[in-house]
Amino acid sequence: MRARGIGVGFGPRLLLAQALVILAGSVTLLVVALLVAPGLFGTHLERTAGPVPEEVVDHLQIAFARTMLTSLLIGVLAAVLTGMTVSWYVTRRVVGPITAMAQAAEAVADGHYSARVTKSGLGPEFDAVGRSFNRMARDLAATERTRAEVLRDLAHELRTPLTTIRGYHEALADGVLPADRESFATIEAELNRVQRLTDDLSLVAAAEEGRAVLRRKPVQVTDLLTSAAATAATTFRGAGVDLSIAPPDKCVVLVDPDRLQEVLTNLLSNALRHTPAGGHVVLGAVCTGDTTQLSVTDTGEGIDSKHLSRVFERFYRIDRDHPNQHDGRGSGIGLAIARALIHAHDGRIQAESAGPGKGSTFTITLPTAPPPTTEGEA
């Protein structure tokens, strides 16, 4: 593999380009002056002094040409020096911010996401590039933090069931625990937990990468809400939390009903996890023109404003030691699945809350299905 040589930088290239412009202008000035000036001088001389002996005319033209050439050469030299000085200054002013941005980009590439570029003062175009670079660096820093958190939380989520399984395995091997149905049931439950976690992660990755298979068909939102409420009814009754459906608008959405049921189940599980006994959770649907909004509203703990933008991140949990875990999941992956699946349906999902202790609302916005065409319509 050949070593890549060091090429000429942008600064020298820019300076050379400006020097060529100055040189071309100077040569053009000299050529035009030498071609045009003698003839004009002879014409003005004849008009001013009348007929002049040819010897005198030749002498005057030679004197004029020498004087003009000397003056032009001095003027062009001064102009070139001045132009090159200004060009050097301009090149330095332009190259400085570009070099700083290149150094900052190299730092970001090396993992130093705190690198930033300052305002260049070269105009709005350069300032816009600088702002975009700084925003990119901030986003990369946030992505790196999230990646580290995901890996750390994933290790934590896997470590707990694996520790339990290892403990039971060692106890069974040493004869401390009997190899009965209860022991194997506990091991199977922990294995199911690991399996569920890996399945959830695979589903999120597939949906975010556009690989999730969706079997869309027109579905009444009333049917979606009724089915989700029926599935969660037993769990809600056991937790002492009331689950109801607000009278929904009658509208149709083009979705994969199984995937939407999974989204609603995750939202209901999240609401139940954060709603104490005696609270209420309400399912609703509103049609607004071309969009349909499904909502899950609870009277639970609410969400602080600083957490609202992150609740849909993988493994993000507001309280990692939350005591109110009705369903035993609480891995922080359910809302990430919900967001990924809704995005796969060309929709969006958002969380709203007036603050801690004031409940929260999760709203899904989906395109409303077009009305079916009747026979005879074009």
Residue 320: per-residue pLDDT:
47
Helix 54-109 × helix 124-174 angle, to 10°: 20
pLDDT band at 304 (very low <50, low <70, confident <90, very high): confident
**Separation of alpha carbons 374 and 263, rounded Å:** 32
Sequence ranges of the domains in the chain: 10-112, 126-208, 217-318+330-367
| pLDDT beyond 80 at 240 | yes
| pLDDT beyond 80 at 255 | yes
**Separation of alpha carbons 329 and 193, rounded Å:** 8
Task: Give pLDDT tens digits for 347-375.
Answer: 999 999 988 889 999 999 999 887 655 44
Of all residues in the chain, what percent carry a pLDDT higher than 70? 82
Q: Which CATH class is domain 217-318+330-367?
A: alpha beta
Residue 326: per-residue pLDDT:
38
pLDDT band at 118 (very low <50, low <70, confident <90, very high): confident
Distances (CA, A) of 196 to 182, 193, 206, 287, 328: 21, 5, 15, 34, 12
Using H for helix, E for strand and C for coil, what is the string for the chain? Answer: CCCCCCCCCHHHHHHHHHHHHHHHHHHHHHHHHHHHHHHHHHHHHHHHHCCCCHHHHHHHHHHHHHHHHHHHHHHHHHHHHHHHHHHHHHHHHHHHHHHHHHHHHHHHHCCCCCCCCCCCCCCHHHHHHHHHHHHHHHHHHHHHHHHHHHHHHHHHHHHHHHHHHHHHHHHHHHCCCCCCHHHHHHHHHHHHHHHHHHHHHHHHHHHHCCCCCCCCEEEEHHHHHHHHHHHHHHHHHHHCCEEEECCCCCCEEEECHHHHHHHHHHHHHHHHHCCCCCCEEEEEEEEECCEEEEEEEECCCCCCHHHHCCCCCCCCCCCCCCCCCCCCCCCCCHHHHHHHHHHHCCCEEEEECCCCCCCEEEEEEEEECCCCCCCCCC
Q: CA end-to-end span of the chain, whole Å?
A: 64
φ/ψ of 287, rounded to 5, equals -100, 125
In the predicted model, what is the mean pLDDT of residues 197-209? 75
* CATH of segment(s) 126-208: 1.10.287.130
Task: Give pLDDT tens digits for 36-93.
Answer: 777 776 676 666 666 666 666 666 767 777 777 787 778 778 877 887 787 787 777 7
Residue of 300, 207, 310 lying closest to 260 (CA atoms):
207
> What does pLDDT average to over the chain?
80
10 Å Cβ neighbour count for 312?
20
Residue 51: per-residue pLDDT:
65
In the predicted model, what is the mean pLDDT of residues 258-280? 92
**Most confidently modeled range among 77-91, 135-149, 210-224, 269-283:** 269-283
Residue 10: per-residue pLDDT:
65
**Separation of alpha carbons 293 and 291, rounded Å:** 7
| pLDDT beyond 70 at 318 | no
Q: Which residue has the tokens 């590039």?
A: 129
**Separation of alpha carbons 324 and 116, rounded Å:** 43
**Separation of alpha carbons 72 and 26, rounded Å:** 9
pTM: 0.57
Sheet strands side by side (includes 360-367): 242-245, 280-288, 291-298, 360-367, 348-352
| pLDDT beyond 80 at 286 | yes
Q: Amino acid letter at 50?
A: G
Residue 317: per-residue pLDDT:
65
Structure tokens at 222: 């009333």
Structure tokens at 121: 């003062």
Instruction: Name which residue leads in pLDDT, 125 or 273.
Output: 273
Residues 254, 256, 259, 262, CA torsion sign: positive
Instruction: Name which residue leads in pLDDT, 40 or 265.
Output: 265
**Separation of alpha carbons 83 and 31, rounded Å:** 19
**Separation of alpha carbons 184 and 189, rounded Å:** 9
B/e letters for 293-305, b = 16+ CB within 10 Å, e = fewer, are: bbbbbbbbbbbee
10 Å Cβ neighbour count for 204?
19
Residue 278: per-residue pLDDT:
93
